[in-house]
Amino acid sequence: MNTKNMKKRMITSFYKNFQHSIYELLVETSTDLPTDVREALKKSLLSEDPLSQSALALKMIAINIDLARQRRAPLCQDTGMPTFWVKVPPGYNHIYMRKAIENAVRKATKEGILRPNAVDPIDGTQSSNNVGAGCPIIHFEQWGKQGIDVRLILKGGGCENKSTQYSLPCELPHVGFAERTLEGVKKCLLHAVWNAQGQGCSAGIIGVAIGGDRARSYEYAKRQLLRKLNDVNPNPQLAELEKLIVEQSNTLGIGTMGFGGHSTLMGCKIGVLHRIPASYFVSVSYNCWAFRRLGVELNARTGTISRWFYNHKRNVHHAMASSGEFYGTGRTISVTIPITEQRAREFQVGDVLLLNGELHMGRDVLHRYLVTNSSPVDLNGGALYHCGPVALKTKNGWDIKAAGPTTSIRQEAYQAEILRRHGVRIIIGKGGMGANTLQALNEVGAVYCSAIGGAAQYYAQRITKVVGVDFLEFGIPEAMWHIEVKDFPVVVTMDSHRKSLHENIERQSADILAQLK
């Protein structure tokens, strides 16, 4: 074989191996958590009162982590928009590398490791394979080392929506005037954590960028999430600020999933960019407890994996939960759906409901539809679950691979009308809802229940049957799924008596935030 053909075969082999390595990285990142995140979650669990709702949430999270690893299935149904940082030596073809990454993403989506999340913002059509304009996100960087460094973050929409950017100086609710100083930065960061409440699936982690222009500042904030949670910032001032933000955030009383408690923030990582005199940006990239961030070093000659970063060890079982059993707190009630108005009015904030019967899953697009159209199934007395699952079609029907809740507040514009029009008695989601929904719950006799955000495997295990699906033309995450469940655990956090745990926690944490300033 001549030298030219041999070189061509080596190049072809490299990109084939590179694609497989990226696929393996996608699988591991979607289905397991790195060691530093596991350790932080264990610390959070130990800090909570064992009988509190936050401890309940953390125990379920621990069980979910074990299930995802065992089943090699997504930790959370929202696998986000895959974001890669790739460092390569000179001479590598980024066009071919991009194609290989896209092919790996296509395969992972087809196999249910990723949920199809790429949506055209103009006509609403969904890419079935997570490849489209700007998807996946890939940041290439050339460096002087011999190996190839690839880092990946799968960041869901719920926590991405709680990311934010401040332009200093500014006036902020509850903390006051924030100047162009580190004290002003501190006020911004505490405000960002407070503003996330349970909608970002706390306990969270924040990546922060101080300075830069608007676009670079946002990207650099997300890049800080590549750091280990237990590292120390080389800048002493920033190291002190990172520690302070975590400590003070955990005094706010927001807790896991916004249920109250001591575990609101697991980490704060801050980077700095030079700015122009007129601008002083503080960007915050908020990430949920399901901190799916991993990385690999690749052999630059073969494209195969040389080692995993973040102390990740493949195929090593490391259980998070002491038991696979769920234990409720307070009053635990078994409920068979459908229910009457009278039955719904018996439930109170704090009750744990074990739901049995048929649930209907739907989110943004479906809610908009149901406001002005009839439902394909009778919702009277029923339960509507804010969920966009990972679902695969098999020869025996549909298989729900992951089914955790989505952030409910996005449905606030539609929920009250749906409650009045369709007679729904139980709404299930995460993060709570607003005043309009609370008023409607009181009017019609219904409750809002919180499922544990990110616990997609735990809830998928509670599904006994997929009854059917409507509106597949909306896309798999936005379709209306009909499922049967057994002992599906949720916590009543808004009841028909105008009580809202979310409203109380937000108000109480705002008072604490104001004192911290």
482, 346: one domain: yes
What tokens were used for 448? 């809002």
362, 490: one domain: yes
Of 103, 5, 11, the C-alpha closest to 301 is: 11
CATH at 345: 3.20.130.10
125, 244: one domain: no
169, 277: one domain: yes
Q: Phi first, then psi: give them for residue 259, nearest 5 degrees.
A: -85, 0
Given the structure tokens 């009383």, which residue do they identify?
253
- On whether residue 228 sits in a domain, the answer given is yes
At position 261, the amino acid (one-letter code) is: G
Q: Phi first, then psi: give them for residue 355, nearest 5 degrees.
A: -85, 140
Predicted confidence pLDDT, tens digits, the chain (517 residues): 566 666 677 678 999 999 999 999 999 999 999 999 999 999 999 999 988 999 999 999 999 999 999 999 999 999 999 999 999 999 999 999 999 999 999 999 999 999 999 999 999 888 999 999 999 999 999 999 999 999 999 999 999 999 999 999 999 999 999 999 999 999 999 999 999 999 999 999 999 999 999 999 999 999 999 999 999 999 999 999 999 999 999 999 999 999 999 999 999 999 999 999 999 999 999 999 999 999 999 999 999 999 999 988 877 767 888 766 666 666 899 999 999 999 999 999 999 999 999 999 999 999 999 999 999 999 999 999 999 999 999 988 999 999 999 999 999 999 999 999 999 999 999 999 999 999 999 999 999 999 999 999 999 999 999 999 999 999 999 999 999 999 999 999 999 999 999 999 999 999 999 998 7
44, 75: one domain: yes
140, 187: one domain: no
What DSSP string runs through 272-324? Answer: E----TT--EEEEEEE-SS-EEEEEEE-TTT--EEEESTT--TT------S-S
3 state SS for 400-431:
EEECCCCEHHHHHHHHHHHHHHHCCCEEEEEC
Residues 6+ apart with CB under 8 A from 325: none
500 neighbors 365 (Cβ within 8 angstroms): no
Residues 6+ apart with CB under 8 A from 374: none
Partners of residue 483 on adjacent β-strands = 359, 466
Maximum CA extent, the chain:
83
Partners of residue 384 on adjacent β-strands = 360, 427
Q: What's the pTM value of the predicted model, to 2 decimals?
A: 0.94
- Determine the pLDDT at residue 138: 98
Q: Phi first, then psi: give them for residue 223, nearest 5 degrees.
A: -60, -30
Look up the domain containing 162 and give its range: 157-287
115, 234: one domain: no
136, 215: one domain: no
- On whether residue 191 sits in a domain, the answer given is yes
Of 425, 441, 444, 412, the C-alpha closest to 500 is: 441
- On whether residue 92 sits in a domain, the answer given is yes
184, 278: one domain: yes
Q: Is the dihedral of CA 177, 182, 188, 193 positive or negative?
A: negative
- On whether residue 96 sits in a domain, the answer given is yes
195, 53: one domain: no
- Residue 209 is inside which H or E element, if any? strand 204-210
At position 115, the amino acid (one-letter code) is: R
- On whether residue 192 sits in a domain, the answer given is yes
179, 144: one domain: no
- On whether residue 514 sits in a domain, the answer given is no
Q: Number of structural domains, the chain?
A: 3
- Integer Cα distance of 260 and 252 in angstroms: 9
- Integer Cα distance of 31 and 36 in angstroms: 15
25, 64: one domain: yes
- On whether residue 336 sits in a domain, the answer given is yes
Q: Phi first, then psi: give them for residue 352, nearest 5 degrees.
A: -100, 120
- On whether residue 510 sits in a domain, the answer given is no
